[in-house]
Homo-oligomer: A and B are copies of this chain.
């Protein structure tokens, strides 16, 4: 059985437990995860196709552009091609198989698509939100190897980019150098838009690189990652250009300590929100809690941001073979910000930093 069939097999067991006979998979990453067909869609509002999963079959629906790729993934016999109305083609298929009820992914089906499907006379039920993502949270060994390779390239580019941190370079130029280094070393794409923020811009957790030029004594916050062999990496470092700066060192030490306190304790069974609380409580002790304005981290794999979220209100606990980021930060308007982000692999007895 190939890895995709294996994943479907596993999902079918959960479907059986929940009384789901047929599940429609419209999320692009979930479709790829379960079939190997097309990791992405051409645009967010333009799908490359969807899957129908039943106890004894899988069917892929796509348009003629993807016919050959779809055949390669699942074989001619498991393929339906639509031209105009995709849901008419699906509805015909359901009719032939005598399928009356269908579960769907509520996060990945638009209101309009839902209405159209309902108009085809299908009884529709939302599956648990993130039903497939819950399986994706627990990484297979092969996936962990791919994530490690992506992370290793990320480390390499961090060491190469140091040479470019010279006064005069702009945020945009630095971001482009980062991208060139990734791509020329095999990455398919950025896993997200690089954040390269200088000086006070680093106070924005989500800064967009601009034309501002690097100056002596500036902070440089670099949050960057690539997609290598389908899997994402995501890491942040904050540098200071020029002679040692007391305030920068002090803040950086606090951030790294907050990160360390969480990573040291994370292991299977611990609640996600506890990990967040470990960093937050340390910041509270130090009287800087209000400068920590976001969640502690997030799952990473085929997507840069995937479940779980290490947020203060997150439900659920760590399990073996999750891969998450741990990225506390402190942001001071006017001055700048420091964020430090590692990717960790949750193992039986604790976390391993990738």
List chain A positions with a Cβ less than 8 A from chain B. Answer: 27-28, 41-46, 64-66, 68-69, 84, 104, 106-112, 114-115, 126, 129, 176, 179-180, 183-184, 192-193, 204-206, 208, 293-294, 303-305, 311, 313
Contacts and interface: CB of A to CB of B under 8 A. Distances in A.
Contacts of A66: 206
B112 A126 contact: yes
Contacts of A304: 42-43
Contacts of A108: 45, 110
A46 B204 CA distance: 19
Sorted nearest first, the 7 A-B pairs with minimum C-beta distance are A65-B206, A106-B112, A44-B44, A106-B111, A111-B114, A109-B111, A107-B112
A294 B44 contact: no
Nearest to A179: B183
Contact of A84 (B84, B305, B313): B313
A303 B193 CA distance: 18
A53 to B, nearest CB: 18
Nearest to A27: B45
Copies per assembly: 2
A32 to B, nearest CB: 13
B43 A305 contact: yes
A104 B171 CA distance: 37
A61 to B, nearest CB: 16
A44 B48 CA distance: 14
A327 to B, nearest CB: 13
A175 to B, nearest CB: 10
Contacts of A69: 204, 206, 208
Given A107-B112, A108-B110, 10 more contacts: A27-B45, A42-B305, A43-B304, A43-B305, A44-B44, A64-B294, A65-B205, A84-B311, A106-B112, A107-B110
A209 to B, nearest CB: 10
Contact of A46 (B180, B183, B305): B305
A41 B44 contact: yes
Nearest to A45: B107
A64 B27 contact: no
A170 to B, nearest CB: 13
Nearest to A204: B68
Nearest to A64: B293
Contacts of A45: 27, 107-108, 303
A32 B28 CA distance: 24
A110 B110 contact: yes
17 contacts: A28-B44, A43-B303, A44-B44, A45-B108, A46-B305, A64-B293, A64-B294, A65-B204, A65-B205, A65-B294, A69-B204, A104-B111, A107-B112, A110-B111, A111-B111, A111-B126, A180-B180
Given A65-B206, A180-B180, A112 B84 contact: no
A41 B68 CA distance: 30
A44 B106 CA distance: 14
A41 B305 CA distance: 12
A118 to B, nearest CB: 10
A110 B115 contact: no
Nearest to A331: B64
A110 B204 CA distance: 29
A192 B42 CA distance: 7
Nearest to A311: B84
A119 to B, nearest CB: 13
